[in-house]
DNA sequence: TCCGGCATGTCAGGAGTTTGACATGGCGGA
DNA sequence: TCCGCCATGTCAAACTCCTGACATGCCGGA
């Protein structure tokens, strides 16, 4: 594919660069987690539940940037696999708090290695002194569409 | 969802920030392009073909970060919609060069407005003097997994 | 010359995700 | 109190995308 050094080149736009970086990350995550029998949303779900036990389906969905419906499927899969538990009913409200099982904690611990390595590889790719600024800029991009 | 100011907080990791920013962008693109009856891959495909007419299926797939198979579906849709043309056969090799039709150029021109606005909104979200550095850092992240 | 490797386009199957819709359960103002 | 509003969990259907696989067509070294 020939280079096209135009001022209007799509590849010069911020959105394109962001998408490309995210695609690279997603690919690395998919490959790394497959060895542990987990998908990216499943891992994200486990990680969130480890840090904040008792999160509901909707809260997990927001935390992993998918819809409630998608997270529902993910939770069902994790539940069938015995990685999490969720009460069938609740006394107050409708939100069902999810918790990791012992097996869930084990699987999460096993998968963390590859994910941490990927994150470290990302961090190592940018000059150390630029990292805090990069994190702040990414936050600004995330908030750009919050109204 | 309560805050958790831990050093190991998932939300502090580079990968999480990147994913969140990309999710925000993807959502804005989806919403904006839906008004024009286009999906994100479809738009990306049209934009690439406008700048580099004659790209093949595989080249377009690499340029938009999807598989050849997915791009094949996208191209078929665009072809059925009369936005692009592709020869049924070729004299040399197997790659089939795709080109925009007049209608394709019109639809692309119409959709560009919202996409450019989104990109501008992104660019406006970061301090102007930081933008070049941010673009460079995103490139470094993309290249982090190229080996 | 020939053959192995490589890239391309395509088909089939399945997994994941989304949109749309509905019923249930708090919450707060009228 | 009551009723509208919002959030939640869930179902159904459609769509998108991926993995796996196969056949075709160049290109290189043996």
Domain with A63, as residue range(s), is: 22-143
Q: Mind telling me how many Å the CA of B70 is from chain A's nearest CA?
A: 15
In this prediction, residue A96 carries a pLDDT of 87
- Does the pLDDT of residue A89 top 60, yes or no? yes
Residue A7 lies in a domain: no
Residue A47 lies in a domain: yes
What's the complex ipTM? 0.89
The token pair that represents A47 in the structure block: 């990680």
Task: Express each pLDDT in A34-67 by its tens digit.
Answer: 989 999 999 999 999 999 999 999 999 999 999 9
Distance A122 CA to D17 C1' (A): 25
CA dist A115 and B135 (Å) reads 24
What's the mean pLDDT when you consider all of chain B?
90
Residue A48 lies in a domain: yes
Residue B129 lies in a domain: yes
Please state the domain count of chain B.
1
Give the closest residue to A21 by CA, choosing from B55, B48, B21: B21
Residue A122 lies in a domain: yes
Q: Mind telling me how many Å the CA of B111 is from chain A's nearest CA?
A: 14
In this prediction, residue A91 carries a pLDDT of 72
Distances A92 to A28, A84, A95, A96, A113 between C-alpha atoms, Å: 41, 21, 8, 10, 38
Q: Please tell me if residue B29 touches chain A, with a CB cutoff of 8 Å.
A: yes
Query: Residues near B106 by Cβ (< 8 Å), separated by ≥ 6?
Result: none
Residue A17 lies in a domain: no
Say which DSSP state B130 is in: G
Measured from Cα to the C1' atom, the residue closest to D20 is B69
Residue A69 lies in a domain: yes
Give the CATH number for residue B22: 1.10.10.10
In this prediction, residue A46 carries a pLDDT of 95
List the end-to-end C-alpha distance of chain B, in Å, as a whole number: 38
Task: Express each pLDDT in B12-62 by its tens digit.
Answer: 899 999 999 999 999 999 999 998 999 999 999 999 999 999 999 999 999
CB-contacts to strand D (7 A)? A 30, 56-59, 68-69, 72, 75, 94-96; B 39-41, 65-67, 69-70, 73-74, 77, 92-94
Distances B29 to A10, A122, A138, B115 between C-alpha atoms, Å: 15, 25, 17, 7
Residue A2 lies in a domain: no
Flag if B52 and A1 touch (Cβ within 8 Å): yes
Sign of the torsion angle spanned by Cα atoms A49, A51, A53, A58? negative
């Amino acid at each position: 594919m020939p280079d096209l050094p135009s001022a209007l080149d799509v590849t010069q736009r911020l959105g394109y660069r962001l998408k490309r970086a995210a695609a690279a990350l997603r690919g690395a995550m998919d490959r790394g987690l497959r060895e542990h029998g987990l998908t990216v949303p499943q891992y994200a779900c486990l990680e969130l539940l480890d840090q904040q036990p008792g999160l509901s389906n909707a809260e997990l969905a927001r935390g992993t940037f998918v819809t409630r419906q998608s997270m529902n499927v993910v939770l069902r899969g994790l539940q069938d696999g015995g990685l999490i538990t969720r009460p069938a009913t609740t006394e107050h409200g409708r939100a069902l708090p999810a918790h990791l099982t012992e097996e869930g904690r084990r699987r999460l611990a096993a998968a963390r290695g590859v994910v941490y390595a990927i994150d470290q590889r990302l961090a190592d790719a940018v000059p150390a002194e630029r990292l805090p600024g990069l994190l702040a800029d990414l936050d600004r991009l995330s908030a750009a569409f919050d109204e």
